[in-house]
Amino acid sequence: MSPDLPTGAGAATAPAPVTVLAGPTAVGKGTVSAAIRARYPQIWLSVSATTRAPRPGEVDGVHYRFVGEEEFSRLIEDGQMLEWAVVHGRNKYGTPRGPVEEKVAEGRPVLLEIDLAGARQVRESLPEARFVFLAPPDWDTLVQRLVGRGTEDEEERERRLATARVELAAEDEFDVTIVNDSVDRAADELARLLGVNDLT
């Protein structure tokens, strides 16, 4: 836990209006947020803009807002991005500011699922947000998820593991840690942090 917690951070009874979920690559952030989307419609999950191409089954405006490089740059220039980052050295991802502000004004619990670089920017621009670190149950599980298929060469494997070590060390910057030992359990714990129960 960091010493400069915003008031009420970590307390299920006093949810912060914006919660940021981040964590190391391959920890399962996407799966946990998909469980939140499916089971907790009360929680508004921010729809990121990205320059990457849609994968099969992904719907524009639901999973991401798929934009070209030019539009992404325009959103940044117009000050419409709360944060943005190049993820895995490839594509750009960012959180459009307007919808977040709108949902906060409506009193909806808001969840951003973003990478560590993005979380650090939100810490600067929205310090009252709550920062949740999604952690693997243990190092071996993360290694398994990162390199499990064994399709990478030794150099790529080492590169991923080195990145994972650095990313895990970021846990100290966060207000709360949730262990992703089971997707549904982690989603339930996250929803409770946002002040939402199954029965609400």
Which residues does the annotation place in the binding site for ATP? 23-30
Phi, psi values for residue 36, rounded to 5°: -65, -45
* Among 72, 93, 131, 133, interactor with ligand 5GP by CB under 6 A: 93
Interaction residues for ligand 5GP, span 129-158 (CB under 6 A): none
**Exposure class string for 15-30: b at 16+ Cβ within 10 A, else e:** bbbbbbbbbbbbbbbe
Among 79-87, 128-136, 145-153, 170-178, the segment contacting ligand 5GP (CB under 6 A): 79-87
Kindly state the smallest distance separating residue 31's Cβ from ligand 5GP, in Å: 11
Question: Which stretch, 108-116, 149-157, 172-180, 184-192, contacts ligand 5GP (CB under 6 A)?
Answer: 108-116
| 48 near ligand 5GP, rule: CB under 6 A | yes
Distances (CA, A) of 171 to 19, 120, 178: 15, 12, 10
Q: Which of 16, 32, 111, 114 binds ligand 5GP (CB under 6 A)?
A: 114
Region of 155 on the Ramachandran plot (φ > 0 left; ψ -120 to 50 alpha; else beta): alpha
| The binder of ligand 5GP chosen from 87, 135, 186, 194 (CB under 6 A) | 87
Backbone angles phi, psi at 137, to 5 degrees: -60, -35
